[in-house]
Amino acid sequence: MLNTVLIANRGEIAVRVLRACHELGIRTVVAFSEVDREALHVRYADRAYALGGKAAGESYLHIEKLLDIARRSGADAIHPGYGFLAERSDFAQAVEDAGLIWIGPPPAVLGLMGNKTSARVLMRAAGVPVIPGTDDPLTDEELLAAARQLGTPLLVKAAAGGGGKGMRVINSMSEMPNALSSARREALSAFGDDSLCLEKRIEGARHIEFQVLADQLGNVIHLGERECSLQRRYQKLLEEAPSPFVDDDLRSRMGSIAVQASSAAGYVSAGTVEFLVDRNRRFYFLEMNPRLQVEHPVTEWVTGVDIVKEQLRIARGRKLRHAQKDIHFSGWAIECRINAEDPFNGFVPSIGRVTALTVPTGPGVRVDSGLYEGLEITPYYDSLISKLICWGETRGEAILRMRRALEEYRIMGIKTTIPFHQRLLDSHSFMGGQFDTTFVDERFSLEEPALDPAGAQVAAVVATLVAHRRARQTVEDSPGSSRWRWSRPGGGWPQ
């Protein structure tokens, strides 16, 4: 039985997993760093334990601290969310060695699929189409020789990681030496492994991924595709399900290959098989993400399947509730990743306190978030602070609903990527579904509009109201009492 789960993560994904556990009657435990002491996941959990430290290496990446909290709290299982330790086979193995349930794929599968070169070898053996490239860790001299055989354009990629870390585009052979050197340094810093591989770069490619679910009894299904081509420097910005590029025939073929790839890997739990698709609809295996994806909500909305609850059921040893024939798609869903970044200043991270917050609601609107008024956004972790997901019966309705929701979403005190998404949704290329993985970096222009006099007046009024509201609050520093003192309704401060 699975009675108590430690969620080894933070932010919106920790809150998302907490909610699924609560709905299933599972008790929850979270760990928190020093700067996350007042975070939303700490407030929502049944029990919370301090990790200490601020940076991830001192807190959420500290395996021994997390296992100690699991023991002290009486947790039966650990859910890693995404990021941090979610794809670390050594962490999964340590969890199982401690007699706990790991809510994810087996450690051996994490080790296999977490390395791009070993994953390519396995997929090719299983009959899955793979992008031409190298399969083994190679020296710089060997990579240079392989590059001459493959021909440019190429991608240099970190064998042990993803998310664009350790990745370089090669358009001519003269770029190779510097690219290899910088990619190795970045890969070693990000993943502790400087192994590199080469892949042929597919021009005009779409990034299409398939959500899969696999139980411990060998049953594997897919939940359709997600369109993930809208990226900036290989970081996803907006996802949708289904893809405007994928027709029924392509969906059927790619879905079958995704299931075949998962079965070949001995996969268990929720995972994602990622493909690149060229202009002629030829598709190639890119990688398998053996964890919950940031963009899983769009799939949940068009299929009606709660992926996190399925992860928990699979971890309990239960059979999948659905067969492939039971999966049907309804409507269209779009997700905008809301990051604490300034889109008008090179997307540099923005830190500070959230001084005011208005969250959009209404039919077809979902917000996965760890935000609240007064929350301090720090520089220590990923800049993703919220996900806005909208559903419509058609893609057009989903776009219109997302526009409305973005207009309603107000986060003051920090810069966010909301204005970027507003411009993106107004783009003719986006509305027509005419984009690929290079669209944002190479063909999308983001210019800050001049504020008209009426807008300046509104901004001034809002700033004044926020300042007035904050002036009516003060921090109480004395120990043992509330940190906040509020003015009385009739005026004056409490004595």
Active site residues: 291
Q: 296's torsion region: left (phi>0), alpha (psi -120 to 50) or beta?
A: alpha
DSSP 133-149: B--S---HHHHHHHHHH
What is the rounded CA–CA span in Å between residue 323 and residue 218? Answer: 12
3-state secondary structure at position 109: helix
**Strands 206-214 and 220-232, sheet pairing:** antiparallel
Paired strand residues for 27? 4
Cis? peptide before 107, omega within 30° of 0? no
Cβ within 8 Å of residue 99, ≥6 positions away: none
What is the rounded CA–CA span in Å between residue 383 and residue 350? Answer: 8
Do the beta carbons of residue 8 and residue 31 sit within 8 Å? yes
Q: 163's torsion region: left (phi>0), alpha (psi -120 to 50) or beta?
A: left
Q: What sign does the dihedral 4-9-11-14 (CA atoms) show?
A: negative
What is the rounded CA–CA span in Å between residue 247 and residue 370? Answer: 36
What is the rounded CA–CA span in Å between residue 264 and residue 125? Answer: 9
Q: What is the dihedral of CA 158, 161, 162, 167, to 10 degrees?
A: -20
Q: Give the CA radius of gyration of the chain.
A: 23
Tokens of 2: 């699975």
User: What number of other Cβ atoms are within 10 A of residue 387's Cβ?
Assistant: 22
**Strands 168-170 and 154-158, sheet pairing:** antiparallel
For 182-240, the three-class secondary structure string (H helix, E strand, C coil) is: HHHHHHHHHHCCCCEEEEECCCCCEEEEEEEEECCCCCEEEEEEEEEEEEECCEEEEEE
What is the rounded CA–CA span in Å between residue 467 and residue 419? Answer: 23
3-state secondary structure at position 265: coil
